[in-house]
Copies of this chain bind each other. A is one copy, B any other.
Amino acid sequence: MNLIDLIDYLGTFAFAISGIRLSAAKRFDWFGAYVVGLVTAIGGGTTRDVLLGVSPFWMHQPSYLIVTGVALVAVILFKRHLVKLENSFFIFDTIGLGLFVVVGIEKTLDAHFPYWVAIMMGMITGSIGSVIRDMLINETPLIFRKDIYALACVAGGVVFMICSELGIPKGMTQLVSAISVIVIRILAVKFHIGVPVLKVDDEKK
């Protein structure tokens, strides 16, 4: 197992944990929690692959199903201690996000789409899983209301495009792009940087 695989597993694990914990708050059963965890972890990449017209990535190796299963067992066994691990989950989640965005961009460019589509797909890969998660638990999507999350994915995509256009080698471009996503996300959470809320006061007139 190389470093990329390890990051992929940790990111999947953190995404699945977020889905499973939110399911628990809705009193879903183990099966429902597993499904929501799985959708959180693979929903973004699946949407990307369907839009690109390629076979969804998780149908070619069972590791995502297995990692989600491990996440479910972890939540069931260690539920009392999960709160203490918040920071670890946040780090896994954020590093995973950086990786997922770069993977989404790469796959889209390989399919011969232009950069702006690749940037969209990087964002879709990183964030649509949590949108579907919130639809399943019947809440309005968190990323539409709080913090910078999807915009960090977009910024990472723009960095990727600039580095590529400047002729920076591929491996370095990927690394810088992923780190951009991670740093922006961490700064946004640490300093509570958000996007302004849209206000339309139709009714108040």
Contact = CB atoms under 8 A, between A and B. Distances in A.
Interface string A21-52: 10111111111110110000000001000111
A65 interface: yes
Interface string A47-63: 00011111110010010
Nearest to A33: B198
B139 A138 contact: yes
A166 interface: no
A5 interface: no
B56 A51 contact: yes
Contacts of A46: 51
Contacts of A137: 140
Interface stretch (A73-81, A96-104, A172-180): A73-81
A30 B82 CA distance: 33
Contacts of A32: 141, 143-145, 195, 198
Contacts of A131: 136
Given A51-B56, A83-B205, A24 B140 contact: no
